[in-house]
Amino acid sequence: MILRAFFAALGQLPDPRFRGVLLRGIGLTIALLIAVYAALLWVIDRLTTEPLVLPFVGEVTWVGDLLGWGSLVVVLLMSVFLMIPVASAITSMFLDEVAQAVEDQHYPHLPPVQGVGFTDGLRDTVSFLGLLIGANLGALVLYLIFPFAALFIFYGLNGFLLGREYFQLAAMRRLGRAGAKALRKQHQATIWVAGCLMALPLSVPLLNLIVPILGAATFTHLYHNLNRD
């Protein structure tokens, strides 16, 4: 069941709506990084309006240029580490479109549903990102205590979190939050195993960008299979 759902999702990756969500997430992430850099330059410009005067040296006029180029280096370094999680988080805001694309192609007999609003999507995205970061920071302690089991802890933890999030997203479109939670509790083991499958690409650069899209599509199939059973 899980592999069938996964390969069905994989086969739909060329869907223009899938590609649109991915490109939108990456584009908004780049725009956010540019905005952060522009804000840093503005702050530096405000702080260096007056030339710096040093004892025995006099006026120093190149501090602003130094901080400006230094901030560019900082933002570029930050982008290396933050590009993937931020892009994934932003992409998650549009995963309702992915679920709809899956249902349009594979479950056309279903009645239409009201899409998740932008505010609700943003709230769920921020909440999930905070939980994901917090849980992985907390797991660092376990990595130090049980280094031989670090990989199992990483995939097990993130598999649980991803499975919980993506199944909830797929199920609550038709069952509501309470119904989705009840169905999730009935099939926790299956959802966890499927989540672990989604967690495998997390450690592969660039490939991890498609995890939210692949996860939403896979769990949409899984939801319909479990709810039918």
Q: What is the pLDDT of residues 26-57, one digit of tens each?
A: 777 777 777 777 777 677 666 656 555 445 54
What integer pLDDT is reported at residue 132 of this predicted model?
A: 73
Of residues 194, 188, 229, 192, the one with CA closest to residue 215: 194
Number of C-beta neighbours around residue 128 at 10 A: 21
Structure tokens at 171: 């199920």
Point out which residues pair with 52 in neighbouring strands.
60
Question: Does pTM surpass 0.75?
Answer: no
Q: Are 18 and 213 in contact (CB under 8 A)?
A: yes
* Mean pLDDT per 10-residue interval, the chain, length 229 residues: 87 87 77 74 65 50 55 59 58 79 90 71 72 77 86 87 86 85 91 89 72 87 85
Sorted by where each begins, the domain ranges of the chain are 2-228
- Averaged confidence pLDDT in the chain: 77
Structure tokens at 94: 């549009």
